[in-house]
A and B are shown apart, each in its own frame.
Chain A
């Protein structure tokens, strides 16, 4: 039996290994493309074992080196981290298969470079999940930014370069200017950057300053895409769809909200937040972002742009859940990381499938296309239902907990925000299958969707349904996170 410390390495290193080997396999494409899913399987096995270990009450820990007093590079598996690690590694399998189908179906160039950086990004995301120290987290956060830059600019045309610049300047700029100083601030007042179970700031920081520190964190974590630093996410949609699917629905943005939740629960601590009300402004901001971006999404005709704004809105659910500072809401937020990931990756898969199969990327062009690609649109429908929060899809659980949390914390307007946003969700998401199935067909297209695209799409779609019935381990992890 492998000791649980090494399980962390088994989970984290397959993507790095894939990243290291891939450049040498540019001529042997089959082997190269197999590496991703295989790596995903190994990582997933490791992350599932880690989840079990955490559920058994253990806390695997690995420390590599100490940089300065209280600052070290190392891994610790917290319940929230185990949750995020599981999501990232399991979805990597599907995304890995899907990206092979997509890249080949679309005949993209530089596929080797693409796979290399793709794997590196997954590695960074997993390291963020298991980071044992805020500085470790920060380093992998930056690696994630840098590794996704070549993916965003993959097409290398003027538009992609422009998007890449915006992407880098927002994500890198915000993290260096605000996140890093915030981390240093925490180090100065607590003397340590270790990620512990509960808040570390209670009694160490003047409550007067706490909202400012939180503000530095919130705007420093650009990946969580709160307004007004959300622009990079729609811009990043110039990337090939597998990138948007895994990275901009799962790895990158979830790394952002994961960091946000970690800061709210493990640095500030929900007790401290609810006691001082330091996160009150964040509730307002997150609610605002949530509603505004939902409205913007309605007006977007491009499928991926609409999904991007929908993602921003859903990320705000998670931030809002953390900011409410009640244990129910935080659990809901953690669950939303899982359920939204499964749902949104399905939607992106579908968007990519439509693009590869029928070369369509506008919603207005989809009229009546449902009959020619029924499976794909059914998957989209199910994914949408999950995000809207209709049982029996996974998404209903997280929304349920978030609502409960809002009620528990006493911010009743938040419940209203959730309700309005759900209605908007219905509007902008269900429009797509509705047009596909009930509108009159305008263009005659015979789509050719590669089987490597259809299979992962259906699998993740199936996953969203499974999540409804097997939410228990996740829920246990989430409750462990809030210390119950």
Chain B
């Protein structure tokens, strides 16, 4: 029994939310659909934990879909690399499902809840599928499943603000162009290698050198994924989509969606192609590195001047994605590990921040701008306390998870690239203090002009408390995440050798 379960884990973890999402369409009761969604995410989380344990011992789990042997058939691969995004997605989706209990009816209306949860699970299934699949074309399908579902979820925000529709529309168009570019890339690679399996691709790619179709294919794939990962300057869809989406959707998307795409980016850069290849070195040094640095500053500066808080956090996400791609662009084992560490920690940080801000929005029953926050910190001590801790974590202060990411990022940067990048990292993280302090000051030190009285609701802050606790816990004992990220980086780099 357990044997069969373990053998089928890689597909179960995708199928479980996928099947339930189909089933949920049939249910009309809001509460039941929430319970079912919760159970599904719990189950997905348990399955991903099982996978995590399995990977610790076996290091590589391969599942041939429909029993067609890879490289011809579609393969699902769980290894030390892909388990990290899987854990991120399953844990954040569990937390945000708990979080969504009160907020979802408020944002989208009682009547369409079950459809929203159906889309919600579909997006989760798409994201998990995206990281488990070992087939380049199947990846495209999951990419589209997740992004179409996310687009529909974002559009659900239209009940509160019609701008959500335009945001969703732009997300759809830009996302679809990105995905199509990726498909062109895959097609070009297929035309010269004749395979779609990633491991097989990496072997075949090594034998080909200096082929123009290969270079073009690589360029298309990278660009497509960079659109999806919102790497600067291909990020324009992100701030609007995150800020007009329903609260819980913002949490889910901000914490997971770009992470999955970043993982794919790392997969393409380091495992399909080879780090020792000139093409990759040039791409890393002259494309991704400058773009990451620009992202760090552009995102932070946009955040400083932003008045709308959800959009502010979205801009800050762009800067944080810059840190992750910066880590990748340095291209040493240590820096890629740092990228994965930050990927994990940033999911916790941004999840927490979005939860705090959107729950304030729930209490106020309106959009949150910097003005509406004044003096609310004293009204909602728990939310505010969590918000401060997550902010500190974002700024990278000691005892929080953010510090660990920054620590390893700086260590990796110093040892391979040079001091000037470290200074840029430090300056941009110092700038991030400005917008964080701006919010904290208004929340805490300003007077509550409108005399708003808020009673915090336990069903809303429970998941916020959990995610904040995780932020602190992984700041105190980083060994788990650091060790796993390091072995992920080693696996990724060893994949192509």
Contacts and interface: CB of A to CB of B under 8 A. Distances in A.
Interface of A: 65, 67-68, 71, 73, 135, 138-139, 142, 161, 173, 176-177, 180-181, 184-185, 187-188
Contacts of B482: 68
Interface of B: 395-399, 404, 406-407, 410-411, 414-415, 422, 426-427, 430, 433, 445, 475-479, 482
25 contacts: A65-B476, A67-B398, A67-B399, A67-B476, A67-B477, A67-B478, A68-B404, A68-B407, A68-B478, A68-B479, A135-B398, A139-B399, A142-B397, A161-B445, A173-B430, A173-B433, A176-B430, A177-B426, A177-B427, A180-B398, A181-B410, A181-B426, A184-B406, A185-B414, A188-B411
Nearest to B411: A188
Nearest to B433: A176
Contacts of A68: 404, 407, 478-479, 482
A128 to B, nearest CB: 14
A188 B414 contact: yes
A181 B414 CA distance: 12
A174 to B, nearest CB: 10
Contacts of A65: 476-477
Given A139-B399, A173-B430, A176-B395, A188 B410 contact: yes
A135 B404 CA distance: 12
A68 B427 CA distance: 24
Contacts of A138: 398
Given A68-B482, A142-B397, A188 B415 contact: yes
Contacts of B478: 67-68
By DSSP majority rule, is chain B's interface helix, strand, loop, or mixed?
helix
Given A65-B477, A176-B395, A184 B407 contact: yes
A67 B482 CA distance: 11
Nearest to A164: B445
Contacts of B407: 68, 71, 184, 187
A139 B398 contact: yes
Contacts of B399: 67, 139
Contacts of B414: 185, 188
Given A180-B397, A181-B426, A185-B414, 19 more contacts: A65-B477, A67-B398, A67-B399, A67-B475, A67-B476, A68-B404, A68-B478, A138-B398, A139-B398, A173-B433, A176-B395, A176-B430, A181-B410, A181-B422, A187-B407, A187-B411, A188-B410, A188-B414, A188-B415
B75 to A, nearest CB: 36
Nearest to B406: A184
Most chain B CB atoms below 10 A, which of A68, A139, A142, A187:
A68
A187 B406 CA distance: 13
A180 B426 CA distance: 10
Contacts of A184: 406-407, 410-411
B127 to A, nearest CB: 29
Contacts of B427: 177
Most chain B CB atoms below 10 A, which of A67, A161, A181:
A67
Contacts of B477: 65, 67
List 8 tightest A-B contacts by C-beta distance, closest first: A177-B430, A188-B411, A188-B414, A181-B426, A68-B478, A139-B398, A184-B410, A135-B398
A173 B410 CA distance: 19
A76 to B, nearest CB: 18
Nearest to A165: B441
Contacts of B415: 188
Contact of B397 (A67, A161, A176, A188): A176
